[in-house]
A and B are shown apart, each in its own frame.
Chain A
């Protein structure tokens, strides 16, 4: 349970960081 929770948190945080960097790229391009 602890392992799965940590892994899910890691994946979601990574996805959030990718989304944020994409947003920043779009903002810079425009």
Chain B
């Protein structure tokens, strides 16, 4: 999980830089590059990624009790394990905090720094991409022996602290310092949530449970975009007295 996240962030860090160089003189190659990268990804998954087959004998293997393959629909499994739903709803709150990094932050920075806000946001995004690649192995090592839920609780505290720093100090260096905490929180959330769900799901239903829980989370987060846009609009109106 952390390895795929690491690869994703490496791509997110390198991609925009390459696109920036190609944008004016070789625009066509941005799209060719996207297509070729996606095609290589498909080939890798097609030929080298294997899904283990599940059978009735799975229950006699060395797998932990919670991960043993079971029969029945995904809804029956979720009914038997309500903690997965509770866990997802709590993680939704963290995802709400995470999405504000890319939704409320550009609005906030434009409000504070005017035209410089967009440039600063771009710099913060690149900074976060590099930081995530550097700190992911470190955080994985530090939280290796810790249960996933405690790591996610720490992620929540880091989000709260990061946004608090952004709120109390509006200087540019402090924005970067705040994003160190926010990036660490992001790493813990993205890596540990999937691990917990995988550990608590039967191997036969892992993909389906993960898909359903992701859908529940996205549905729950959806209205928050409208809510935060509305809140921010009210705040700007109050400040400018219009």
Residues of A whose CB lies within 8 Å of any CB of B are 1-14, 16-17, 20-21
Contacts and interface: CB of A to CB of B under 8 A. Distances in A.
Specify the main secondary structure of chain B where it touches its partner: helix
B200 to A, nearest CB: 10
Given A9-B156, A13-B152, A2 B163 contact: yes
B172 interface: no
B169 to A, nearest CB: 14
B163 A10 contact: no
Contact of B90 (A3, A4, A16, A20): A16
B28 interface: no
B193 to A, nearest CB: 10
Interface of B: 83, 86-87, 90-91, 93-94, 96-97, 100, 104, 147, 149-150, 152-157, 159-160, 163-164, 167, 185, 231
Contacts of B150: 13-14, 17
B147 A17 contact: yes
12 contacts: A6-B97, A6-B156, A6-B159, A7-B156, A7-B157, A8-B93, A10-B152, A12-B90, A13-B150, A14-B150, A17-B150, A20-B149
A18 B53 CA distance: 35
Contacts of A12: 90
A14 B230 CA distance: 31
B207 to A, nearest CB: 24
Contacts of A4: 160
A14 B153 contact: yes
Nearest to A9: B93
